[in-house]
Amino acid sequence: MRKHLLTILGVPLLAAQLTTWTSCGPSTSQSPAEPAPPAMPTTENEASDPKETNPLLEAWAGPLGGVPPFSRVQVEHFKPALEQAMTSALAEVNRIAAQPDPPSFDNTLAALERASHTLDRVRAVYNVWTSSLQTPEVQAVEREMGPKLAAFSDQITQNSALFARITAVYETRESAGLTPEQQRLAWVRYDHFVRTGAKLDAPSKTRLAEINQRLAALFTTFGQNVVADESNQFVLIEQQADLIGLPMSFQQSAAAEAVSRGHAGKWVISNTRSSVAPFLTYSDRRDLREKVWKMFVDRGDSPGATDNNPIITEILSLRAERAKLLGYPTHAHWRMANTMAKTPDQAIALLERVWKPAVSRVREEVRDMQAFANKELGQGKIRIEPWDYRYYGEKVRKQKYDLDGNQVKSYLQLDKLREAMFWVAGELHGLQFTRADNVKGFHPDVTAWKVSSTVSGSDVGMFFFDPWARQGKRSGAWASAYRLQQRFDGDVRPIVSNNSNFMKGAANEPTLVSWDDAETLFHEFGHALHGLLSNVQYPSLAGTQVFRDYVEFPSQINEHWLATPEVLQRFALHYQTGEPIPASLVQRIENASTFNQGFDTVEFLASAMFDMRVHLVGADSGVDKIDPRTFERETLAKLGMPKEIVMRHRSPHFQHIFGSDSYSAGYYSYLWADVLTADAFQAFVEAGGPYDRAVAARLRDNVLSQGNTVDPAEGYRRFRGRDAHVDALMKKRGFPTK
């Protein structure tokens, strides 16, 4: 997730949010004290006066049908561009709705596909700034434009004349000679309009619009609060002795971060997972581990301007009221009506099936860690706490499997891993990535890559890579699309990006990443491949525009190729000697593949269970009085949450579900998709192995290229020959299948 969907003209448009573990989050009325880096520098020819011209409103120029004009954009361009593009799009929608010709696919649905081209371009760039270049000025625009964009969407879905035309096309879709893809688009449009209130009476539509605008403002504030805490809070280490246990590469990154914050000669632990996780894993200073852990888990939960708890209460109340208006018992029922799971009960059943074996595994993990601590420190000296889990887990892993995470990390260079992703895409899907130095990103750290087919030689699309953490950038990792693939109005090639938050090391030194971070890289690249390999007619159905609990399937299955011998022998090279990772070390990695699965699974499941249960409270059940801290505490107690673990995303910084509607009542999707992932990879295992071309072609033809042109359950059956079996997931995580 590592990503976030917005809706324009009833069409899900991939934006530059979320993500990820999720990464994502933006938001408070408070601005980060540390300024974000300036936008890309401009040359004299590129510079533009916002009063005279607005590059956001121009057609994109450059290779592959044009690329975003990042280097020419100024913050002042966003508001007028958004307002003008919304006005133009709304005028076109009204023209479509009012035309005298009888409704047809071409004059209604196809016309709607064209209606928002300019706005789509503007929002693609706008979303980059709000996710990756958040200055106080950008945040001010976001706070103002959020409600306006929500109102714009409601003006379209509440247009009765337009809905009547869409309904007419939908009801005659099977008799009008439409292609299967056109019939699917008719259903997608109609379903979206119905689910967003097109059938409501006038007073209900008015109230619905008010709710949506207020929610948009709350989402923005929630996200900006999280970014403020992530940007402003850090732990400053002043003595070299306090770094005991930390690898030198991490110390160098912490020193570089200190320099960037004006603390040269010291070390800074940033409030971002890529900094916090390794600190909690390797620091021998238990008091500092506790301090860093509390900083991280309390994002958005401190009294004062960035406290997100009152915002959550209001969001939940408004969501429950909206669901009732739309005819659903709860927000969860509304959100899940067009998913693979269909109902909250189905999703909860899967979560509960995995919960008990995962908790049992946690008990085993804690016993092992406690025994190690007792032996090391003496019986009863400490009791394992959440800030100890990663630290003692690493020690137990080394003891049980002779596997040292730092040793593994020395073979995982970020640049080499990027090359590995590209190589796998070439082996499986015939893609070639060529550095496009003539294409500028939105920041000097961003690189652009032209993607082509090694089979036909034709252009496939463009890929942007943004790996580094910076002030004003949401934490985590996510994928986004700047342009969706389509073929109905010319052959339009997709433009996608991957965004991460790695800490830069010392100058001229390679950036080393953990095994988990390497998996995340491959995960996000799976989303990118889903967008690049899309092969559909209509952009509304392209790439990742699929059900929420299906979109993580292509990304999660891509993680499997990291551990293949072909990748490790070519690209897992020691950063000092250049020697490939030893086969004995690879075997130890494989032996330990299910180690700590209790921790990983329980922290995820706790977040997913909280998400589902808090959104199953109806409008008549006191939802307006929910205190997030109390609800979170009581929910975890009822689950029997091990005290040594907290939710992966505690409610005050749970961007997936409170930074937008995107993953709300949908965080379970990662587990649902992993059922498909585990089962699907077995198709490769059962055939010729991970690089079997025939199986890869089936995956590409039935999943990656199809977008939302077919029902995902049917697409999966075409690939696999049957429905997915949950046993493969349990085996993958090392849990009993019965």
CB 561 within 8 A of CB 690: yes
DSSP per position, 538-560: -GGGSTT-S-HHHHHHHHHHHGG
SS (H, E, C) 341-376: CCCHHHHHHHHHHHHHHHHHHHHHHHHHHHHHHHHH
Q: Check 181, 321, 365, 524 and give the catalytic one.
A: 524
Please count the other Cβ atoms lying within 10 Å of the Cβ belonging to residue 515. Answer: 18
The pLDDT score that the predictor gives to residue 504 is 85
* Segment-wise mean pLDDT, segments of 10 residues, the chain, 738 residues: 34 31 30 31 36 88 96 97 98 97 98 96 97 95 97 97 98 97 98 97 98 98 95 96 95 94 96 94 98 98 95 97 97 96 96 97 97 94 97 96 93 97 98 97 97 95 95 90 96 97 85 94 98 98 96 97 96 97 94 94 98 94 91 97 97 96 96 96 95 98 98 97 94 88
Tell me which residue has tokens 């064209």.
114
The pLDDT score that the predictor gives to residue 509 is 87
Which SS3 state, helix, strand or coil, does residue 662 take?
coil
- Determine which helix (DSSP H) or strand (DSSP E) holds 324, and give its type and residue range: helix 309-325
Nearest to 669 by CA among 604, 617, 622: 604
Which amino acid would we find at residue 213? Answer: Q
The pLDDT score that the predictor gives to residue 52 is 64
Q: Token digits for 433?
A: 């990535």
Domain limits, the chain: 4-223, 233-297
The pLDDT score that the predictor gives to residue 448 is 98
Please count the other Cβ atoms lying within 10 Å of the Cβ belonging to residue 734. Answer: 15
Which SS3 state, helix, strand or coil, does residue 468 take?
strand
**Residue 627 to residues 218, 263, 310, 618: CA-CA distances in angstroms?**
16, 39, 8, 15
The pLDDT score that the predictor gives to residue 41 is 31
Which SS3 state, helix, strand or coil, does residue 492 take?
strand
CB 530 within 8 A of CB 554: yes
CB 229 within 8 A of CB 247: no
- 524 is a catalytic site residue: yes
Tell me which residue has tokens 């969501």.
319
Please count the other Cβ atoms lying within 10 Å of the Cβ belonging to residue 274. Answer: 23
Q: Token digits for 601?
A: 């699974």
Which SS3 state, helix, strand or coil, does residue 482 take?
strand
CB 546 within 8 A of CB 712: yes
Which amino acid would we find at residue 562? Answer: L
pLDDT tens figures, 316-330: 999 999 999 999 999
CA distance 118 to 9: 12
DSSP state of 110: I
Beta bridge partners of 413: 512
DSSP state of 224: H
Sign of the C-alpha dihedral computed for residues 57, 59, 17 and 231 taken in this order = negative
Beta bridge partners of 462: 450, 495
Report whether CATH 1.10.1370.40 matches the domain 4-223. yes
Q: Token digits for 159?
A: 């247009």
